[in-house]
Amino acid sequence: EVQLVEAGGGLVQPGGSLRLSCAASGFTFSSYAMSWIRQAPGKGLEWVSFISGRGDSTYYADPVKGRFTISRDNSKNTLYLQMSSLRAEDTAVYYCARGPTYCSSTSCYNFDNWGQGTLVTVSS
Amino acid sequence: QTVVTQEPSFSVSPGGTVTLTCGLSSGSVSSGYYPSWYQQTPGQAPRTLIYNTNSRSSGVPDRFSGSILGNKAALTITGAQADDASTYYCVLYMGSGISVFGGGTKLTVL
C-alpha cells in the first residue's frame, strides 16, 4: 500500500524558514516524480513544486520561486521542501503527492496518491 | 498566466445527474492536457477520481465519468448520492512537471 506521510509543519514568523518532509513507502520511490501542493485556509488547491524521480529536474510555481527548494533523498525514500523568506500568504496545509508521471495503466500525468498534509502557519 | 476555470458551486438532487466543467481562460481543453479530477471533503486530503480525461482511479464508482465536452473537460456524476457532496478540483498538466489546478466546484446534494 502506498503511504505518504508529511511532517515538519508548524508556526513560523514572517521571514523565517521551515523544512517539510514526506516519508514514502509501499512503492519504488526513485521511480516516481513527486510534487508539493498546498491549500490555504478556506481556499483551493495550488500546485507548488515538482521533482523528477532522479531529482535532476525541478519546477516551481511563480509565488514560491526563489524562496522554496524541493529535493529528495532516494536512499531514505523521503521528499523535502525547504521554505525560506516565509510570508503570511504561505500559510497553508502542504500535501505531498506522487506524480505526475508518465502514462501507465493506473495513472497518466496526474497525482495518484496523496499524503494527509501538514499545516504551516506564518504569523508573528 | 494560465487560469483553469470551474463553476464555483453546483447543486444536484439525490439520484440526479450533474456535469461539472473545466476550462481554460484562453484556449480549449483537450486530452493533451491529461485532465484529472479530485474529490475533497473538509479536513481530508484530496482523492483521485479521474485521470487522463476519462480513466477512473481504482475504487472509484462508475457513476463518476470524465470526458471532453466541446472545449472543456467534464466530470459527470450519474445518480448522485448524499456523500458525493464535496469540492471537486480539475487539474490540467502543462508539461515539464507543471500542473495547474482549477478553483474547485463545491457540489451540494439536496
What are the tens digits of pLDDT across the range A1-33? 999 999 999 999 999 999 999 999 999 999 999
pLDDT in tens, B93-105: 999 999 999 999 9
Question: Which cell is B27 given?
Answer: 484556449
Partner residue opposite B48 with nearest CB, options A33, A51, A110: A110
Q: What is the pLDDT of residue A66?
A: 97
Residue range A32-59, pLDDT digits in tens? 999 999 999 999 999 999 999 999 999 9
Output the nine-digit C-alpha cell for B6: 470551474
CA–CA distance, B84 with A78 (Å, rounded to integer) = 33
Beta strands in B28-97 (DSSP E): 36-40, 47-51, 55-56, 64-69, 72-78, 87-95
Is it the case that residue A105 has pLDDT exceeding 90?
Answer: no
Say whether B34 and A100 touch across the interface (CB within 8 A).
yes
Q: Is the pLDDT of residue A103 over 90?
A: no
Query: Would an 8 Å CB–CB cutoff place B5 in contact with chain A?
Result: no
Whole-angstrom distance, CA of residue A112 vs CA of residue A97: 7
Contact B51 A112 (CB under 8 A): yes
CB within 8 Å: B45 and A117: yes
Q: Please, what is the Cα angle at A53 between A12 and A17, to 5 degrees?
A: 10
**Residue B48 pLDDT:** 96
Percent pLDDT > 90 in chain A is 94
* CB-based contact, B96 to chain A, within 8 Å: yes
The alpha carbon of residue A52 is apart from the nearest alpha carbon of chain B, in Å, by 8
pLDDT of residue A13: 98
Q: How confident is the model at residue A102 (pLDDT cuts 50, 70, 90)?
A: confident
The answer to whether B2 contacts chain A (CB < 8 Å) is no
Report the SS3 class of residue A123: coil
